[in-house]
């Protein structure tokens, strides 16, 4: 799909895209489809879908679908290599492979530079590719979901030294060569400014489709179900849930904890649950996107644990879906953090200190004994997302920001 050098519209550059149904893939899909539906010619350059696993989806492995139309948007997929295992080096090398393949396709004309480019980062190397794909005097907007160097340092997946310094330098140089940076929170804006990013930075919050996700009755009877759903990674610090489960089991509670998802920490978590002889924890796969509302309704109470060292560098986007579904949740968050401030502002969920399973379990038991309180929290969350995070409002703001308004 070589594009005309004079073609109007926007080029999206992202490692993740539909049909990936969690993470950045659906987020990028929403952005591209919104602009495409509002008379902007959008094309996407992305990788072959795989997230959250390390294996490319079966239908895409042969490359036969490297050029396709997805929900009305033309998509070019790059055959970048996905390295297995965890660690910052693996993530950087996967990003470097995407960058290298993108530069190769640009050099041979399969992809051409555009006047207007949007790049999406969990990997700063995607922003670097976006720079290369922007025509001279064109406009390049970077959408930042994770501050990669902050997460790497905070979660201890890179250590200190030369590699971390190089990553910080690449972030600073790349972002300062864009025209606008969009971040998910005020905390992230402050963190980038402290890293000497001088490009204008605006906050564009996560959006949620409040028509597709809405409060509905849970199917089936008790016992009460407490749910975590999403990626099983270091950033989520899911071992905290296992500690809570152990406390509840010893107390004789009939609360059931369901962990629904997959990711690099999945095997270790399941092994730890077996070692602790936990009978109240169940691991399940993710449900497909069309069953998301059903999946959210299953949880009477949701859990949002996170590693406190990464809290200022990313936003757990699942909280907005939980609130849209009218469900209460408990998050782990330090005082003054994004989630702690949001809990105070909305009154829609509870926060407990990280790494404190006794407090986590006590708060969970308090909610479990008061379904009226749970309903009140859920209603507050629903009202909050309708006001601040409804998809049409945020995507209109996104379109205005892209054009410098």
Task: Pick the range with the lowest mean pLDDT from 2-16, 241-255, 350-364.
Answer: 2-16
Distances (CA, A) of 112 to 119, 131, 292: 15, 12, 37
Q: What is the dihedral of CA 15, 19, 20, 24, to 10 degrees?
A: 50
C-beta separation of 320 from 244 below 8 A: no
How many other CB atoms are there within 10 angstroms of residue 16's CB atom?
24
**pLDDT (mean) for 156-176:** 79
pLDDT in tens, 125-149: 999 999 999 999 999 999 998 877 7
pLDDT at 112 over 60: yes
R_g (Cα) of the chain, nearest Å:
21
* Contacts of 209 by beta carbon, 8 Å cutoff, 6+ apart: 30, 324, 391
Q: Comparing C-alpha atoms, which of 333, 296, 290, 291 is closest to residue 315?
A: 333
Q: What's residue 300's pLDDT?
A: 95
With tokens 């997946």, the residue in question is: 157
- C-alpha distances (whole Å) from 251 to each of 77, 238, 360, 401 are 52, 21, 14, 52
pLDDT of residue 402: 83
The rounded mean pLDDT for the chain is 88
Domain 225-388, CATH:
3.40.50.2000
Structure tokens, 232: 């099983």
Average pLDDT on 288-308 reads 90
Judge if pTM exceeds 0.85: no
Pair of tokens at residue 141: 């907007």
- Cα three-residue angle 295-360-281, rounded to 5 degrees: 45
> What is the per-residue pLDDT for 6?
40
- Percentage above 70 pLDDT, the chain: 90
Q: Where do the CATH 3.40.50.2000 domains begin and end in the chain?
A: 10-207+390-402, 225-388
What was the pLDDT predicted at 149? Answer: 73
Instruction: Check residue 166 and give its pLDDT.
Output: 83
282, 256 Cβ separation under 8 angstroms: yes
Which three-class secondary structure state does DSSP give residue 119? strand
For the record, the structure tokens of 165 come out as: 């310094």
Answer yes or no: are the C-beta atoms of 66 and 79 closer than 8 Å.
yes
* Interaxial angle between packed helices 161-175 and 88-107, expressed in degrees from 0 to 180 and rounded to the nearest 10: 40
Rounded Cα–Cα distance for residues 231 and 21 (Å): 11
**Percent of the chain at pLDDT above 90?**
65
More confident residue, 234 or 12: 12
What mean pLDDT comes out for the span 262-275? 91
Identify which of 48, 317, 287, 39 has the alpha carbon closest to the alpha carbon of residue 188: 317
Q: 328: buried, middle or exposed (CB in 10 Å: 19+, 13-18, 0-12)?
A: buried
How far is 66 from 64, CA to CA, in rounded Å?
A: 6
What are the helix and strand counts (H, E) for the chain? 14, 14
Mean pLDDT of 104-120: 95
Position 352 pLDDT exceeds 60:
yes
Assigned architecture for domain 10-207+390-402: 3-Layer(aba) Sandwich (3.40)
pLDDT confidence bin for 81, thresholds 50/70/90 = confident
Q: What is the pLDDT of residue 8?
A: 56
Going 64 to 70 to 73 to 76, the CA torsion angle's sign is negative
* Cβ count within 10 A of residue 90: 16
pLDDT digit string, tens, across residues 178-216: 999 999 888 889 989 999 999 999 999 989 999 999 998
């Amino acid at each position: 799909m070589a594009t005309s050098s004079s073609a109007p519209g926007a080029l999206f550059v992202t490692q993740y895209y539909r049909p990936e149904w969690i993470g950045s893939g659906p987020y990028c899909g929403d952005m591209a489809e919104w602009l495409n539906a509002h008379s902007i010619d959008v094309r996407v350059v992305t990788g072959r879908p795989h997230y959250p696993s390390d294996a490319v989806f079966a239908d895409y492995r042969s490359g036969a679908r490297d050029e396709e139309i997805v929900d009305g948007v033309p998509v070019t997929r790059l055959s970048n290599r996905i390295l297995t295992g965890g660690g910052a080096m693996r993530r950087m090398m996967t990003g470097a492979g995407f960058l290298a393949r993108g530069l190769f396709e640009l050099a041979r004309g399969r992809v051409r530079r555009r006047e207007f480019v949007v790049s999406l980062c969990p990997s700063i190397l995607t922003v670097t590719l976006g720079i290369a794909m922007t025509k001279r005097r064109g406009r390049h907007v970077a959408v930042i979901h994770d501050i990669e160097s902050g997460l790497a340092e905070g979660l201890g997946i890179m250590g200190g030294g030369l590699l971390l310094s190089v990553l910080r330098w690449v972030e600073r140089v790349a972002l300062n060569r864009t025209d606008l940076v969009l971040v998910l929170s005020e905390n992230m804006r402050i963190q980038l400014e402290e890293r000497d990013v001088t490009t204008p930075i605006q906050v564009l919050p996560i959006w949620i489709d409040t028509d597709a996700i809405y409060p509905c009755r849970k199917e089936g009877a008790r016992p009460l179900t407490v749910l975590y759903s999403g990626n099983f990674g270091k950033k989520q610090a899911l071992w905290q849930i296992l500690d809570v489960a152990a406390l509840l089991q010893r107390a004789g509670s009939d609360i059931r904890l369901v962990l629904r998802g997959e990711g690099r920490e999945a095997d270790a978590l399941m092994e730890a649950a077996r070692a602790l002889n936990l009978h109240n924890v169940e691991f399940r796969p993710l449900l497909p996107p069309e069953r998301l509302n059903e999946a959210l309704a299953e949880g009477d109470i949701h859990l949002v644990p996170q590693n406190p060292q990464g809290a200022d560098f990313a936003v757990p986007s699942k909280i907005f879906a939980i609130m849209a579904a009218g469900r209460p949740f408990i998050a782990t968050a330090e005082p003054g953090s994004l989630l702690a401030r949001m809990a105070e502002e909305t009154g829609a969920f509870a926060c407990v200190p990280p790494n404190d399973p006794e407090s986590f379990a006590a708060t969970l038991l308090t909610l479990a004994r008061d379904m009226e309180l749970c309903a009140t929290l859920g209603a507050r969350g629903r009202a909050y997302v309708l006001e601040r995070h409804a998809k049409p409002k945020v995507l209109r703001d996104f379109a205005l920001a892209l054009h410098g308004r």
